Structure 1
Amino acid sequence: MVRQDSNGYEQNSYIKKNKNPECMNLVPIRNGTSSSNNNSNNGSYWKVSRGLFVETDESPINRKLPKELLLKIFSWLDIVSLCRCAQVSKSWNNLALDGSNWQSVDFFQFQVDIDSYVVENLARRCGGFLKVLSLSGCQAVGDNALSTFAQHCNNIEKLNLQGCKKLTDRTCQSLAKHCHKLQGCINFGNEALFHLARNCRNLEIVNLHSCKNIQDEGLIELSERCAKLRYICISNCNNLTDQSLIAIANNCINLQTFECAGLSQLTDAGFQALARSCHKLERMDLEECVLITDHTVTQLAFHCPYLESLSLSHCELITDEGIRHLGAASCASEFLTVLELDNCPLITDLSLHHLINCHNLQRIELYDCQLITRAGIRRLRNHLPNVRVHAYFAPVTPPPSANNSRQRFCRCCNLL
């Protein structure tokens, strides 16, 4: 049965949306006003719910258990329980408010009526530990708080700002500058793209990674109205077809980076149109675009002279012929620095021979290319001594024993 204490907290550690819950004043505030009577060791106080305390705790649990173990115990607690523990003593305050315990925070579960300083203090305390934060409904939070948050919590991956009405473009600028791991809204769909296209004509960068609700109509609208796009990521947007590529080719001639990994419906027709129009392309990620063939590689080699990075991993139809055209292209000798060919089963040592004129090649990925040999890699390195080759060769199968006998079980099974 759920019971409530005198402050309105539920005993199962979740609380009602109280106007002034204790934990709100407790959220990480450290090194406060100096003590007037100098009772603390370092002259600093720790602010708790409605007062100040100094460290006098000599309880058995603190003397018996190492701090590492206590910290592990605290890691299993929810936010409200952590705040309660932080009111016990200075040592518990330090452990409970350790950033490692605050990797995911959802204020909506217990309090949305918070001020900006709470977010700022949380950011300073958590730093790089915080990965998920929901400020849904926190209408008092403003740009300054989110600017401080962005500077301290640059490992944030998911951020919910629904209903935060005081935020402006300043917040978007701060997040874009500092939070490079921030993931987009995966529920983003065509309707959102329509609004984006009609109101952000000067858009240059758009990352729609894993937005599976997006369809051709939305991306066509975006490309037609946002002709200044130079970076587009549509990786894992599984509903897109060649129609999207053709629209981008017809409108976004300044495109420099295009990432479309995992799109199994895209074919040579779409990429050929893209290559023929977008001559400024520098980076292409075509990983797991399983329908493309040497025709796509040939067109990129012929029409994209500034190509620096190309990923063809898991493009199982690519052969030595496509790599021959790439190695002979003008981009190969001047600009090509990264080439990824993981899991391309038709690639042989002949492809490596075609790449010996790629003088600026810095890295080539060859994992699970079963027709590539160590001898082929050595020959490539003789011409390109600075290239890093990432490859894997399975260990040689040991020869059978003289009497051709086999153990019935492996060593582990025998032990069991």
Structure 2
Amino acid sequence: RTLRAIDLSDCTSFTEECLLRLLEDDATGVIHSLNVSGCTQLHLAVMGLRRKNVSTNVKTLRLARLPLISDSLAEWLAAGCRHLDTLDLSDNPSVSDECLGYLFAGCRRMRSLNLSRCSGITDGAFDGFVEHDAGTLLAELRLSGCDALGDGAVSSVASSCPELELLDLRGVPKVTDAGLILVAASCRRLRSLDVSGDALSPGSSRSSRVPRVGSDGIAALGALAPPPPQPASSGSVGGVHGGANKRKRGRPCKWLRVLRCDGAARVDDRAVISVVRACPQLEVLSLR
């Protein structure tokens, strides 16, 4: 069998029975990609991905805009999709902290996670993220429009995602300079960061959905990171050896290519100059 990918996105007349048949026929687990985003008739059929006592080979799973992503469904998928590296749950207000807890515990190889506009999740969802080391390989994380998230979630992400290259915090109004400073200090591979306001979110203006990020947070992206502490030993002063052995101070976000802060009125000249001078790879800077 050669079928590798199934894309049924926005097929609103597609039924659960048909999907179950397709997945049942995939007896050898050859399907690597499944997209059922916007298939509003589907509720439980994706459970067919999981084989009895066997993890499937599905690596890309897109479940955006579905009517119900329950905790039990997430638990079932997490147990059967351990090879998952791309997961899209965007535009699903039914996604809960418990739901993500199951996924973080079972799917530890994820490289791309889209939770945009999952309004039901809070900072607590990312406790399991840290506990299960779910962010070790994560390169892309999209949290735009998750207006219940704040610095707690950002702190968990910063401490758990050393490989993070893209972070989308557009329209997350509770994120502040404190959270962004942690990102700057920990996510050394960051290439794209968006902390803009989100004028497209329903029921609110851009001004009410701008992360509370100001000059300190933006300037931290270009600030010099302090050298790691050196172990104390004889002949050292204050735990750091003489000039020949000092660690060179490095820039936290020297690979940054895209920075969007649209609507962030508290960003001043100092922050902009700091980023531009310290990030030689910067290609896009947006402060509209």
The one-letter amino acid paired with 1:219 is L
What is the CA-CA distance between 1:363 and the residue it aligns to? 0.9
Deviations 1:308-351 (A, max 9, x none): 11111111111111112113333312x11111111111111011
User: Are 1:236 and 2:7 matched, yes or no?
Assistant: no
Code of the aligned partner of 1:391: V
Match of 2:128 in 1: 325
| Corresponding residue to 2:164 among 349, 354, 361 | 361
Residue 246 (str. 1) matches residue 50 (str. 2) = no
How far apart are residue 306 of structure 1 and its match? 0.9
| Residues 210 and 237, structure 1, Cα contact 8 Å, conserved in 2 | yes
Query: Residue 385 of structure 1 corresponds to which residue in structure 2?
Result: 188
In the alignment, structure 1 residue 351 sits paired with structure 2 residue 153: yes
Distance 1:313 1:327 in 2: 20
Q: Tell me how far apart the structure 2 counterparts of residues 313 and 238 of structure 1 sit (CA, whole Å).
A: 18
Higher relative contact order (CA 8 A, sep 6+): 2
| In the alignment, structure 1 residue 373 sits paired with structure 2 residue 176 | yes
1:292 counterpart residue number:
95
In structure 2, what is the Cα distance between the partners aligned to 1:395 and 1:320?
22
The one-letter code of the counterpart of 2:178 is A
TM-score (norm. length: structure 1):
0.45
1: CA distance between counterparts of 2:179 and 2:163? 19
Q: Which residue of 2 aligns with 1:218?
A: 18
- 1:89-142 CA-partner distances (Å, limit 9, x unpaired): xxxxxxxxxxxxxxxxxxxxxxxxxxxxxxxxxxxxxxxxxxxxxxxxxxxxxx
The structure richer in helix per residue is 1
Compared CA separation, residues 357 and 270, structure 1 to 2 (3 A): closer
Matched position secondary structure for 1:331: coil
Give matches, 1:154-193, under 5 Å: none
Corresponding residue number in structure 1 for 2:4: 204
The correspondence of residues 95-114 of structure 1 with structure 2, limited to 5 A, is none
* Secondary structure in structure 1 of the residue aligned to 2:23: helix
Deviation, structure 1 residue 269: 1.7
SS of equivalent residue, structure 1 residue 258: strand
Tell me the CA shift for residue 374 of structure 1: 2.8
SS in 2 for 1:376: helix
Partners of 2:153 and 2:9 lie apart in 1 by 31
Partner Cα separation in structure 2 for residue 289 and residue 259 of structure 1: 12
Q: Aligned partners of 1:340 and 1:362: how far apart in 2?
A: 11
Mapped partners of 1:305, 1:225: distance in 2: 27
2:119 to 316, 333, 352: 316
- Give 1:357 shift: 2.9
Please report how far the alpha carbon of residue 211 of structure 1 lies from its aligned counterpart in structure 2 after TM superposition: 1.4
Q: C-alpha separation between the residues in 2 aligned to 1:351 and 1:323?
A: 6
Kept in 2: contact 1:353–1:380 (CA 8 A): yes
CA–CA distance in 2 between the matches of 1:360 and 1:329? 16
Task: Name the amino acid aligned to 2:45.
Answer: S
Task: Give the CA deviation at 1:264.
Answer: 2.0
C-alpha distance in 1 between matches for 2:103 and 2:69 = 15
Residue by residue over 1:50-82, the C-alpha shift from the partner in whole angstroms, topping out at 9 and shown as x without a partner, is: xxxxxxxxxxxxxxxxxxxxxxxxxxxxxxxxx
1:280 corresponds to which of 71, 77, 83: 83
Q: Is the 8 A contact 2:49 2:80 kept in 1?
A: no
Contact 1:320–1:351 (8 Å) recurs in 2: yes
Query: How far apart, in 1, do the equivalents of 2:68 and 2:103 lie?
Result: 19
Spell out structure 1 runs of 4+ moving beyond 2 A: 249-252, 327-331, 393-397
Greater Rg over alpha carbons, structure:
1
Residue 395 of structure 1 deviates from its aligned partner by 5.0
CA RMSD of aligned residues (A): 1.9
CA change 1:395–1:339 in 2 (3 A) is closer
Please tell me whether the aligned partners of residues 129 and 160 of structure 2 are also in contact (alpha carbons under 8 angstroms).
Answer: no
1:124-164 Cα offsets, whole Å, 9 max, x none, are: xxxxxxxxxxxxxxxxxxxxxxxxxxxxxxxxxxxxxxxxx
Alignment of 1:14-93 (within 5 A): none
Mean Cα displacement is larger for which, 259-268 or 229-238? 259-268
The one-letter code of the counterpart of 2:22 is: L
**Cα 1:375–1:231, aligned 2, differ >3 Å: closer, same or farther?**
same
- State whether residues 19 and 46 of structure 2, in contact with CA within 8 Å, keep that contact through their aligned partners in structure 1: no
Name the SS for the 2:51 alignment partner.
Answer: helix
Identical positions, percent: 23
* Structure 1 stretches lacking a partner, 5+ long: 1-200, 398-416
Shift of 1:280: 0.6
Give the aligned residue type for 1:346: A
